[in-house]
Amino acid sequence: MTTRVVTITSGKGGVGKTTTTANLAASLAQAGKRVVAIDADIGLRNLDVVLGLENRIVYDIVDVVEGRCRLRQALIRDKRLPDLNLLPAAQTRDKSAVRPDQMIHLVEQLYNDFDFVLIDSPAGIEQGFRNAIAPAKEILIVTTPEVSAVRDADRIIGLIEAEGKGPGRLILNRIKPDLVKRGDMLDTHDVLDILAIELIGIVPEDESIVVSTNKGVPIVMNGATPAGVAYRNIARRLLGEEVPFQVLKTTHPGLLDRLFRFARGQG
Amino acid sequence: MSFLDRLFGQETRSKDIAKQRLQLVLVHDRAGIPAALIELIKDEIIQVISKHLEIDREAMEVNLTVAEKGQNRLVADIPIIHVKEPYGT
Ligand SMILES: Nc1ncnc2c1ncn2[C@@H]1O[C@H](COP(=O)(O)OP(=O)(O)OP(=O)(O)O)[C@@H](O)[C@H]1O
Ligand SMILES: [Mg+2]
């Protein structure tokens, strides 16, 4: 059995890497896969709070790299989902505390005991990003449908290609169907046109993400919300299932949409 | 924007502007050649060609194109108005 090592990265900050990592990790664990989620954002750790595991941290990734503990001691197992494990980032150090070759070595120690290693990359194109992609066998690029985020995603796609890790797959996050409908937001088609990369998921803007982040419970553990369904679909696609892309709902469906849904018995 | 405006294409949707701007900026990002350098080259081309030909500066275009895999190209389209003395007839 081979361990799949998937890095989630973006270029631009704040587009949803950590939220994506937490939800994919939880969703894969729900599907019975043994998962380690690694927070590679040293100095700005967040994956622990998004997963609701912040109170259980004893050791972190820098402790492992510097030999203060063994890797297994630093892994935090989620009591709600026993197949989900977190390797937290250090909060009081910076990106230079770990080198790419150390990341590769660390992840190799997880081979065979886990099905998935998901790595939450920091924003930017500097050492933190290099650390995060060094052990990756697959890369997911998160972007939002904004000019600056798409531009940065393009840069990241170029860097990933140059590292021989390309082409990666795209997650388009925070789509607002109402804005798209008005022609005031780039849609999936526009972004794919520009980036020419395979799509693996479309996640709508969803207020329940705020609620779930407040509580430290990933949204996929929270019933059927639009973003939760979207993340679950991405996890299924990662597992090789062919899941059709959903048509995102607008709050005020137009006449045509309504007729269409009515005609299909969904009205 | 009103329904009629959109129907008659009076106003460009902001996402179309976003897309155009992105496409343009990415051509330069990908090639590693800033837009200002192309402008500079364009001015110098005008100087050289104008010694011999009168050209339509407004309609002239010099564009960078980026091939998926392969070479970046500078494509110039320069409409000639007429040939200057002493070559012209
Ligand atoms: N689909 C969504 N709907 C609503 N809010 C979202 C969505 N995705 C992300 N957010 C919110 O956006 C903010 C940034 O998300 P997140 O921390 O996952 O981004 P990031 O890319 O990891 O940021 P950084 O670059 O700082 O690490 C968070 O407050 C998160 O709750
Ligand atoms: Mg983050």
- Residue B75 main-chain phi, psi, to 5 deg: -110, 120
**Ligand 2 center from residue B19 Cα (angstroms):** 27
Amino acid at A35: V
For B19, the closest of A154, A155, A186 (CB atoms) is A186
Closest CA to A61 of A3, A119, A6: A119
B78: DSSP letter: -
* Residue A41: Cβ within 10 Å count: 26
- The residue that leads in pLDDT, B2 or A92, is A92
Instruction: For residue A21, give the ligand 1 atom closest to its CA.
Output: 18
Q: Token digits for A4? A: 């799949």
Judged by CB atoms within 8 Å, which residues 37-56 of B form the interface with A?
none
Q: Does any CB of chain A come closer than 8 Å to the CB of residue B2?
A: no
Q: pLDDT tens digits, chain A, 267 residues: what are they?
A: 699 999 999 999 999 999 999 999 999 999 999 999 999 999 999 999 999 999 999 999 999 999 999 999 999 999 999 999 999 999 999 999 999 999 999 999 999 899 999 999 999 999 999 999 999 999 999 999 999 999 999 999 999 999 999 899 999 999 999 999 999 999 999 999 999 999 999 999 999 999 999 999 999 999 899 999 999 999 999 999 999 998 878 776 555 555 555 555 444
B77: DSSP letter: E
- Hey, which bits of A125-226 come out as E strands? 138-143, 169-175, 198-204
Written as one string, the DSSP assignment of B10-46 is -S--HHHHHHHHHHHHHHHHHHT--HHHHHHHHHHHH
- Residue A175 main-chain phi, psi, to 5 deg: -70, 130
Distance (Å, whole) CA A252 – CA A205: 16
C-beta of residue A158 within 8 angstroms of C-beta of residue B30? yes
What domains are defined for chain A? 4-266 (3.40.50.300)
**Ligand 2 center from residue A88 Cα (angstroms):** 12
Looking at the CA of A20, name the nearest ligand: 1
C-beta of residue A156 within 8 angstroms of C-beta of residue A122? no
pTM of the full predicted structure?
0.88
Q: Token digits for A242? A: 């062919």
Which pLDDT tens digit goes with each residue over B21-54?
999 999 999 888 888 899 999 999 999 999 999 9
pLDDT at position B88 is: 61
Q: Is the dihedral of CA A55, A57, A62, A68 positive or negative?
A: positive
Q: Where are the alpha helices (DSSP H) in A175-254?
A: 177-182, 188-195, 207-215, 226-238
pLDDT at position B85 is: 78
Q: Are strands A198-204 and B53-55 parallel, antiparallel or unpaired?
A: unpaired
pLDDT at position A267 is: 42
- Residues making up chain A, counted from first to last: 267
Q: Does any CB of chain A come closer than 8 Å to the CB of residue B19?
A: yes
Distance (Å, whole) CA A151 – CA A187: 15
Considering only CA atoms, which residue is closest to atom 25 of ligand 1? A13
Distance (Å, whole) CA A71 – CA A106: 8
Domain map of chain B by residue range? 3-83
Q: Which residue of B has its CA nearest to A149?
A: B22
Instruction: For residue A20, give the ligand 1 atom closest to its CA.
Output: 18
DSSP β-bridge partners for residue A172:
A143, A202
For A155, the closest of B19, B22, B29 (CB atoms) is B29
pLDDT at position A248 is: 79
Enumerate helices (H) and strands (E) in chain B, giving the number of each.
3, 4
Considering only CA atoms, which residue is closest to atom 11 of ligand 1? A16
For A151, the closest of B15, B16, B29 (CB atoms) is B29
Considering only CA atoms, which residue is closest to atom 18 of ligand 1? A16
Would you call A151 and B18 a contact, using CB atoms and an 8 Å cutoff? no
Residues with Cβ within 8 Å of B37's Cβ and at least 6 positions away in sequence, in order, are none
Residues with CB under 6 A from ligand 1: A 10, 13-19, 41, 46, 122-123, 173-174, 203, 205-206, 209-210, 213, 227
Instruction: Decide if pLDDT at B69 tops 70.
Output: no
Instruction: Tell the residue number behind the tokens 């973006």, with chain if given.
Output: A10
pLDDT at position A266 is: 44
Q: Token digits for A137? A: 């066998």
Distance (Å, whole) CA B76 – CA B61: 6
- Cα A265 to its chain centre, rounded Å, is 35
